[in-house]
Structures are given as structure tokens and as C-alpha cells.
Amino acid sequence: MSIHEKPRPRIGPDSAPFWKGCREHKLMLPTCSACGKAHMPPGPVCPFCLADAIEWRQASGRGTISTWTAVHKAWFPAFAAEAPYNVIQVELDEGPRLTSNLVGSEKPAIGQRVEVVFDDVDAELTMHRFRAL
Amino acid sequence: MNAVKVDAAIVGIGCSAFGRGLPDSQLALAAVAFKDALADAGLKREDVDGISIHLGAPLGVDYDRFAEAFDLDIRYVNQSWLHGRFVTNSLQHAALAVSAGLADVVACVTAVSFTRERGFLGGPGDVEGNREEGGTHGEAPPYGLTAPAGGAAISMQRYMHLYGATSAQLAAVPMSIRAHALNNSRAIMQQPLTLEAHQNARMVVDPLRLFDCCLISDGAAIVLVTRGERARDLKQKPVRISAMQGTRSGREEFIFAPRGLGINQQSGKRSFARARDLEIFTQGIARDDVQGFYTYDAFSPLVLFALERFGYCGVGEAAAFVQDGRIAPGGALPVNTSGGLLSEAHVAGWNSICEMTRQLRGTAGASQIKDARALQWGTAWGDSVILTRDR
């Protein structure tokens, strides 16, 4: 990776279905068909009941900002032009939290309701981001 | 709760100069600190048969290079993964190794050049941060949260929202620790820090301003650990490792947040410090006996979170607790009396372990806590040791 490029997600066997979902503009969550709970980050078994019965189910795409920050310093040169930029954590209505960005002009606030949008970065990668509701 | 069966003492400490942009290699800094520590203890290098390394290459020195460069004959090694979180762990490994007879004298070695290896800290060289599931400090590099500071920032942001804490209250942490540094000529920062200067400094990662983030610096600190009985025969008054508890981890834990704050996958259900988090105070030294608190102050919120973790104040109360000089020189609970990572140097916390040793020997000079007998090291992620003056 060139230091002039933004880092890309590392995608392994456990997380591949998540990123494939993003490619298809669907927010997919690993969900346990034994206990019904969704979890993140994707694991090989349900972290709550250890069942192997993981099903990938499409999430509502809605959630609430649980925390946020604005990054002013550019640790990666590739982010320098956008600084300060926001990073948010979203508590999805299904429970798990995701780290993402809020798009649009609104400043993030804890408690803000948000909805997923998909950003086709290039031919291989689509990233989830969120917009205020 | 079973008492931890540890029979170990710190018998020698050594440091290089601390600075920013030092030209020396990490190994050159280690050489200075190693000779200093041996002389301090009255030991020869032949006596050292164990190494515990907190931060290896490229930031620090790997165990094999340390042994090779100083021609040691080593029979016990511990080396942890990078970043600062294994500071307590590497001291504890040394204590356990000498207690179990795996080594007679373990050198805990930290020799780092953060300035030459800048890209490692949240930059393109940070392989830990680029982990598939996100980094330990909440790093999500594709989304621009690339540095450990980001993890402290998202935690403090939520903490402020939940408890009404403010940046001006947070400023009491770096201001108090700076006041300690002014008593220490080794400290890199030698000017007082005012509230105005804190508030006017540039924002780094909201709500952390410049002085909420520790120094990026270079230096070495080495701590020699041996069994209690042997320690009594050596040059210095031994400093006992009297109590220990290990690192906490699980879905309710996020390294830079109190348990249950609601960061990453934490539930968001907080509670007062639980018995399991207070094992450290059941091994002979009670919290009320602790005369000074030392912690990994990479970012000022971590001091608040550590104080709550160990029950020095209640849930959400730490920002108020640190006001009015309580953790400053002469306060009821002085914190990081040599200036910590925020104002002395980022030697990954080992500067504070050395300072605790000086305090308990009664040789801390202008920083001396009167009649220091028991001091606690404890991190926001829950691990801890209590050091005591030998009877």
C-alpha cells in the first residue's frame, strides 16, 4: 500500500460476506439462528451462545450515533485534504456497533438517528457510511 | 480470592536521557540504561539471566538483539506485542519468572524511538491498527480512525455526553501532571501548563487537544527484578512487588474506556468498580493505604478512566475528582509524580515504574511523597501492581 492511498479494509474469510453485502448495497450482519442475536465484528461462531449457526441477514440499515470524533491530525497523508473529518460509531437497531463516517453537512451528535448509504469506492470496494435521518 | 504467589522486588533502575529526536539507536539508549541499572543495583551483567521486553522492533529493541549486543547468557525471555498496553504485563512476567525460579534476575527493557518510527503510531506502518476486525484501540483505518488517540477520543466524547464532563475539567489532568514534571529535571516539558494554554491549543482528535496527548519521544528505561530474599543482599533498599492483577479483556472491555461505557461492542451498562476489578486491594495493601497513583497517561482521559476503574471515585465522577489539585504535587492522591507520558517522556510507562522505585527508596528529590510506603500502578484497562517499601 502506498502511503498516499487510504487504507482498505482487510477482508478475511469471516468478514468477506459483510463486504460482499456492501458491494450489493446491503448491510448484512452475522446473526445466530440459535439465539437470534446479531454480532460484530464477524466471528466464526456466535459469541453469545457459541453456536455454529451463523446466518447472514440483511439489517435495517438504521441506527443511532453512540459516539463520534472529528479527526484534525492527518496520520495518513491520504486523509490530509479532508481534515478535519468525522468518524462515528453507530449502534444499529439490531444491536451491534459499526465504525463509519457521517456524510452530509450535519455535525455528528450522540443520539442522532442515521441510515446507511453505500459508497462505491472503486470496482472492488464499497464502503458503508451513514446519513442523518 | 487467592493471593498471588509472588516473591519479587525491583532492585535496580536505569534510564537514558529522554528527548525528542535523539540521534541514538534504541540499542544505544538501552546500553546507557542497562549500565545505569546494573550500577544502581550493584549487579554484574553476568547476573542477568532473564529479559522481559515490552516493545520490540521496530519501535524498540528485540530480546535477542539485547542479549547479543551485551553478550548476555539468557535462560528466560518474555516479549509482548507492540503498543503500550503490555507494560504491566511485562513487569508481571518478570515477577512471575523470578518467583518460579525461571530466572534469578530479569531485566525489563524498554528502549524506544517514537520520533524515528512515527509512522508506527497510527500511520501506514501501524500493522496492529490495520487488523481485519479493527485495532485494539478502536482503530478503523479505512474510515480514518487510524491512531490510538482516536480510541481515547471516542471514549471521552461519550463520557462527556453521559456525565457532563468538560474539556476544561479534563485539562486538570495534564496541568497536574505538568506540575509534577516541573519538579523533575529529566522531564522533557519544563514550562507550566495553564488552562488557557490547554484550551487554546490545537484540536488533535475531538475532544482531545494537543496537551491531552502524550509526548512523542525517545528514551530507555530498564528495571531489574529479582526474588525478595536476594534483593535484601543487594545495594539498594528493595521495592517489593506486593500485589498484582492482570489485564481485563472481553466484550464489555474496550482498552481506552471504562468497562461498559458503550464503545465498540460494550453494553453501555456501567457499574461501580466491581470486586473482580479490585483484587489488587485484597493482597495486603488496601486502597486507603495507597499514597500515590501511577498510570499510563498516553491520553488524559485514560487517567480519569483508571481512577474510576480502581474505585478512587464513583462512575462519572473522575472529572470532578481531579480538580483543585487533588492529583497534583501535594494533593491527596498525587498521580504520575515524575510527569508521566504527558510531560516527562513516553518511555511506555517505565519512567513511572522507575519513579515509583525512587519514591519508595526515599530518593525522589523534589517530587518525594512524604514517607512513601505503598504506591499503585494501574491502567485504564485494569491491570495493576502495588509496589511497597520493604520492611
**A3 pLDDT band (50/70/90 cuts)?**
low
Task: Dump the DSSP string for B92-129.
Answer: HHHHHHHHTTS-SEEEEEEEEETTTTGGGTTSTT-TTT
Give the mean pLDDT of chain B. Answer: 95
Q: How buried is B38 (Cβ within 10 angstroms: 0-12 exposed, 13-18 middle, 19+ buried)? A: buried
Digit-coded pLDDT (tens) for A76-100: 889 999 999 999 999 999 999 999 9
B83 pLDDT above the threshold of 80: no
Average pLDDT over residues B175-201: 98
Is pLDDT above 90 for B347? yes
Mean pLDDT in residue range B167-188: 98
Q: Is the pLDDT of residue B288 over 90?
A: yes
How confident is the model over B182-211, as a mean pLDDT?
98
Put simply, the answer to whether B205 touches A7 (Cβ < 8 Å) is no
Where in chain A are the domains?
A: 16-132
- Option in A14, A66, A72 nearest B203 (CB): A72
Judged against a pLDDT cut of 80, whether residue B3 lies above it is answered with no
Average pLDDT of chain A to the nearest whole number: 95
Residue of B nearest to A130 (CA): B143
- pLDDT exceeds cutoff 50 at B93: yes
Number of Cβ within 10 Å of residue B250's Cβ equals 10
Confidence of residue B1 (pLDDT cuts 50, 70, 90): very low
Question: B176: how many CB neighbours lie within 10 A of its CB?
Answer: 28
**Chain A, 10-39: which have a CB under 8 Å from a chain B CB?**
10-12, 14-15, 39
**Alpha-carbon separation of residue B349 from B84, B222, B352, B359, B379 (angstroms):** 8, 11, 5, 15, 10
pTM beyond 0.95: yes
Indicate if the pLDDT at residue B292 is higher than 70.
yes
Does the domain spanning B9-389 belong to CATH 1.10.150.120? no
Question: Is the Cβ of A7 closer than 8 Å to some Cβ of chain B?
Answer: yes
Are B297 and B304 in contact by the 8 Å Cβ rule? The answer is no
Q: Please give the residue of chain B at the shortest CA–CA distance from A9.
A: B142
Best CA proximity match to B222, nearest among B376, B81, B9, B29: B29
List, for residues A43-56, the tens digit of each pLDDT value. Answer: 999 999 999 999 99
Give residue A77's pLDDT: 87
pLDDT reported for residue B271:
77
B268 CB near a chain A CB, below 8 Å?
yes
Q: Which of A47, A89, A100 sits opposite B154 (nearest CB)?
A: A89
* pLDDT value of position B5: 81
Is the model's pLDDT at B170 over the cut of 50? yes
Residue A2 pLDDT exceeds 70: no
Cell of B44: 554484574
Does the distance separating the beta carbons of A67 and B161 come in below 8 Å? yes
> What pLDDT score was predicted for residue B81?
77
Residue B246's SS3 state is: coil
pLDDT of B367 over the 70 cut: yes
Instruction: Evaluate if residue B223 carries a pLDDT over 70.
Output: yes
B19-57: per-residue pLDDT in tens? 999 999 999 999 999 999 999 999 999 999 999 999 999
pLDDT digits (tens, 9 = 90+) for B123-158: 777 888 889 999 999 999 999 999 999 999 999 999
**3-state DSSP call for residue B59?**
coil
Distance from CA of B55 to the nearest CA of A (A): 21
Q: Which residues in chain B are closer than 8 Å to A40, comparing Cβ atoms? A: 265
**Is B88 or B274 the better-scoring residue by pLDDT?**
B88
Give A81-84's long-range contacts (Cβ < 8 A, gap of 24+).
A82/B144, A84/B203, A84/B206
pLDDT band (50, 70, 90) for residue B257: very high
